[in-house]
Amino acid sequence: MAIGAYVSAVFTIFLHTPFIVSLIAGAGAAGLLGFLIGVPTLRLEGDYLAIATLGMGEIIRICILNIPQVGGASGLSGIPNETTFSWLFFSMIITLFVIKNILHSNKGRACLAVRENSIAAEAMGINITKTKVFAFTVASIFAGLAGALFSHYFGIAHPSSFTFMRSFDIMTMVVLGGLGSISGSIVGAVILTFITAAMQSYPEYRMIVYALLLIVLMLYRPNGIFGSHEVAALIWGKWHKRGEKDGAVVENK
């Protein structure tokens, strides 16, 4: 997010580009950096991969903190407030459309196979590293887009907005909604946003609530609220089963 926020802000403030161009520049720069970081780090697995990716995030933040041309520790202010609800909604629809199409492509199915069982996927001829790099790059592009929208909403890009806690918040949203569920992640984001808003008067207890929430999830719903299922599919499935049950009752009568 930090790369998308700063690159888009630089394009808007110093190059005076239209908002859409700044968004594309921020997303593209984040995707490129994600690819460059992913090539060496995604050969790792497990805890080592988590440490490497989190470490790179902190390195990027510290580098930005020490670049005076983009505000340094003071951040980059004076960014036009271009992000509106319409832009957010449009960006969400585009993101959902692209992700859905990727998931139904060969690359997307390869990503799903690696997620479910990397050993079996490799045995079937899927290049694990290339697939991970592809997924990481796509995720970086959309993270960059989110960062660009973020900076143009608040009018400032500051290093303190992109700490480890931001990554933890996003991870919690995904885990809460359901690992492997796009709509579940949206539901998780909504729930967590409401919790954060409700606890504005008690910020010191926010992380305690997050930790308890994650513990409860790990005990009772380890794959999140919706797991790998989409919300619409679950609703349709229940409605369809109810319709079949009602039809069977009518026939019996």
| C-alpha–C-alpha distance, residues 16 and 105, integer Å | 37
Higher pLDDT, 227 or 241: 227
Alpha carbon 9 to its chain's center: 20
Tens digit of each residue's pLDDT (9 = 90 or more) over 104-136? 899 989 988 888 888 888 888 889 889 999 999
232 has pLDDT over 90? no
Percent of the chain with pLDDT over 90: 28
- 162 CB neighbour count, 10 Å cutoff: 23
Burial zone of 244 (CB within 10 Å; 0-12 exposed, 13-18 middle, 19+ buried): exposed
9 has pLDDT over 90? yes
| Degrees to nearest 5, angle at CA 99 with 96 and 103 | 135
| C-alpha–C-alpha distance, residues 87 and 97, integer Å | 15
pLDDT tier, 193 (very low <50, low <70, confident <90, very high otherwise): confident
Higher pLDDT, 155 or 245: 155
pLDDT tier, 27 (very low <50, low <70, confident <90, very high otherwise): very high
Tens digit of each residue's pLDDT (9 = 90 or more) over 41-54? 888 777 777 788 88
What phi, psi does 77 have (nearest 5°)? -105, 180
Q: What's the confidence (pLDDT) of residue 250?
A: 47
For the chain, what is the mean pLDDT?
84
Task: Report domain extents, the chain.
Answer: 1-162, 163-253
pLDDT tier, 238 (very low <50, low <70, confident <90, very high otherwise): low
| C-alpha–C-alpha distance, residues 119 and 112, integer Å | 13
Q: What's the confidence (pLDDT) of residue 25?
A: 95
Q: Read off the tokens for 182.
A: 């796009």
Q: Extract the runs of DSSP E, i.e. beta strands, from 114-164.
A: 156-157
Q: Which residues does 174 contact at the CB level (< 8 Å), separation at least 6? A: 185, 188, 224
| C-alpha–C-alpha distance, residues 140 and 4, integer Å | 9
Higher pLDDT, 160 or 234: 160
26 has pLDDT over 70? yes
Percent of the chain with pLDDT over 70: 89
What phi, psi does 156 have (nearest 5°)? -155, 145
Tens digit of each residue's pLDDT (9 = 90 or more) over 42-99? 887 777 777 888 888 888 888 888 888 888 888 888 889 998 889 999 998 999 899 9
